[in-house]
Structures are given as C-alpha cells and as structure tokens.
Structure 1
Amino acid sequence: MAYTFQVTIDSTDPHTLADWWAEALGWEVEPSDEQFIRGLIEAGHASEDDTKTHRGTLVWKAGAAIRHPEGLERAPRVLFQFVPEPKTVKNRAHFDVRTGSDDPKALVERLIANGAKHLHEGHQGPSVWTTLADPEGNELCVSH
C-alpha cells in the first residue's frame, strides 16, 4: 500500500512562516474555521489560550498549513508547527524549489526582498542553484 504524507516544519511563528512560504511558492494558506474553533472552546474541548489572532482571523496557535492550489492530489500539504526554540543547526532536509520556465534569479531576488537570506551559489555539472534561508533560517534551494 502506498502512503500519503505531509511535510512538517518546526517554527517559532508558524502563521507568519506559512504566509511567507505560500507567497514564495504561489500556494495557499489553509483557511481557519473560526466557528469551529469557537465551538470547541464553548464545548470545553479547547481554550482561548490555544488560539491567537493572525491577520484579523482566529487561528490555532499550534500551527498553520499551506497546500498547492490544485489540491493535495498535486503536492503534499506543508504544516508549520509551533515550537518554542529557534532553529540552531543546518536542516537535514530542505525544499528544492524548481522554477520551470520562470527565471530562478527573479525568484531569488523576490524571496530576498521578502526576508530570505542569501547563503551561497552552487553547481554540479550542468546543474546550478542558489541556496537561501527563509525568515526563520530554514535552508532552501532555487533552480530551474
């Protein structure tokens, strides 16, 4: 049997990082269901301490997710989950963002303007890429 999966990224500010990655990839942040959240609080299954307001919307503090605009059939969901400690060492896994026919340099410039940090340029044979860090320091590569 084949299994499905989601990719989970630890974050000190998951909603802001989900916004950043959704914009970077052209994906969508999953909407929050405020009525559902309030219903769980009223029923005693959650508390106000489990929530916060992000961009005017009540959300779970624990995390935020993004998905490809064509749905989970196209690409796995990415969940950004809250952890109290910041990133301190190099990631053991990272995203390789492939631009297809779009100019990778234009994407790199846009991501840097939106808070990414340039780490280095790489190449191996005909392959070239730029390694960046997102606003929380998670590495990513951009290539064709």
Structure 2
Amino acid sequence: MAYEFQVTQDSTDPHNLADWWAETLGWEVEPQDEAFIRRMISEGHATEDDTKTHNGALVWKAGAAIRHPDRPRVLFQWVPEEKSAKNRMHLDVRVGDDDVDAVVRKLVARGATVLHTGRQGPVAWTTLTDPQGNEFCVSP
C-alpha cells in the first residue's frame, strides 16, 4: 500500500517562511478560510490567541502551508524555540536547466546563506540555509 505524505518544517515564524519558500519554489501559499477561523472562535473551539493577522488576513498562528498540484504539501509549523542543530532531513531544490549560480545569487539576495558547495562525480550542488537557518541544497 502506498501512502501520501507532507513535509513539515518547524519554524518560529511559519507564515513568513511559507511565503519565502512559496516564492523560492514557484508554489502558492495555501489559503486559510477566515470565515471558518472566525466560526471556530465564536463556537468556543479556538480563541483569538490562536490566530494572527498575516498580509492583511486572519490566519491560524500555528502554521502555514505551501502547495503545488503535483507535489507533496509542505507545512511550516510554529514552535517557540529557535533551530539549534543541523537538520536531519532537508529539501533538495532541483532547478533543471536554470543556471544554478544565478538561482543561488537570487536566494542569497532574498535571505538565504551559502554554507558550501559539493561535488560527487558529475553531480554538483550548493548547500544553503533559508532565513531561519534550515539547510537545503540547490542542484541542476
């Protein structure tokens, strides 16, 4: 039996990180239903403290997701603590025919940090961190 999955990333600022990754991957931030959120509050299932305003919309404070119709959903989940160690799992962003160095320069201009470049045989990659310090690689 095959299962579906989503990738979940802990974050101290999930909505801004979701925005960053949606732009990086060319995906969209999953919309949140403001009417549903308000109903959950009015029915006592949630409180105003469970929400925040992001880009002018009422959203759940606990997280934000990005999506692409042909890919697993990525959820950015709020946690109170900053990242403290190397990721045990990371995303590899494959840019195909795009110029890897140009993509890396754009990502750095938007807040990523280059950690190092690597090569194994004919395969080369650049390892970076996103604005919250999560490692990821960019390769052709």
| TM bin (shorter chain) | over 0.9
Shift of 1:122: 0.6
Give a deviation string over 1:26-64, Cα, whole Å, max 9, x none.
Answer: 010001111110011111111000000001110000000
State the TM-score, normalized to the length of structure 1. 0.96
How many residues align structurally?
140
1:78 partnered with 2:71: no
Letter in structure 1 aligned against 2:108: I
User: Where does residue 125 of structure 2 map in the other structure?
Assistant: 129
Shift of 1:103: 1.2
1:105 partnered with 2:104: no
Flag structure 2 segments of 5+ consecutive residues without an equivalent. Answer: none
Counterparts of 1:22 and 1:103 in 2: how far apart (Å)? Answer: 19
1:50 partnered with 2:46: no
Give a deviation string over 1:83-136, Cα, whole Å, max 9, x none.
Answer: 000001100000000001111111111110000001011101001111000001
Counterparts of 2:26 and 2:99 in 1: how far apart (Å)? Answer: 15
Identity of aligned residues (%): 71
User: Where does residue 88 of structure 2 map in the other structure?
Assistant: 92
User: Where does residue 16 of structure 2 map in the other structure?
Assistant: 16
Aligned to 1:106, the other structure's residue is in SS state helix
Flag structure 1 segments of 5+ consecutive residues without an equivalent. Answer: none
Letter in structure 2 aligned against 1:53: T
Counterparts of 1:17 and 1:115 in 2: how far apart (Å)? Answer: 11
Structural RMSD (CA): 0.6
1:32 partnered with 2:28: no
User: Where does residue 114 of structure 2 map in the other structure?
Assistant: 118
State the TM-score, normalized to the length of structure 2. 0.98
